[in-house]
Amino acid sequence: MSYLNMKDEKLLPVVVELNKLLADYHIYYQKLRNFHWNILGQSFFDLHEKFENLYNDAKVKIDEIAERILTLRYHPMSQLNEYLEIASIKETSLVESDFKMVNMILHDHKLLLGQMTVVIKKAEEAGDEGTIDLIGAYIRELEKASWMLDAWSKKAKEHLNTEIIES
């Protein structure tokens, strides 16, 4: 592994966690496609487009995660049955409510962010700055997407925390 200046035994835990993240992203991607195709109601135009943006972003991340695993000189998992077996994110059937869809996506974001934290911890232990950089950017982007979906799901009269402003 001379071109990486890292040892295989230190990278294996990183690759294991990256494969779990890859599995989660595949199930998340398909769930977003499901919601994109099946959204109904007054939120149709907004959420149909938002779900498409999210699944297009997930598709890019799936490829980048797999390529990072290849960069670390391992093969990424690539079979749906393997993804379903190890993913934290679960498949869903049709959901009748736009609010339920958004809440399910927010729950999935929480799981993705948790797995990203595990990946970063393992990457830090291995001295794998490339993975830390990649996943750190994903965290920032997913937190922003989560904030926007959470804001969409709030009532207009709800307020953010003003404690620091009032102190």
The tens place of each residue's pLDDT in the chain, 167 residues long, gives 457 777 778 999 999 999 999 999 999 999 999 999 999 999 999 999 999 999 999 999 999 999 999 999 999 999 999 999 999 999 998 777 999 999 999 999 999 999 999 999 999 999 999 999 999 999 999 999 999 999 999 876 766 677 776 66
Q: Given this model, what pLDDT does residue 158 score?
A: 66
Domain boundaries, the chain: 8-152
Q: Given this model, what pLDDT does residue 9 score?
A: 84
- Whether the Cβ atoms of residue 87 and residue 24 lie closer than 8 Å to each other: yes
- Whether the Cβ atoms of residue 91 and residue 85 lie closer than 8 Å to each other: no
CB atoms within 10 A of CB 112: 22
Please, which residues have CB within 8 angstroms of residue 21's CB and are 6 or more apart in sequence?
A: 65, 112, 115, 116, 119, 135
- CATH code for the structural domain at 8-152: 1.20.1260.10
- Whether the Cβ atoms of residue 104 and residue 111 lie closer than 8 Å to each other: no
Q: Given this model, what pLDDT does residue 28 score?
A: 98
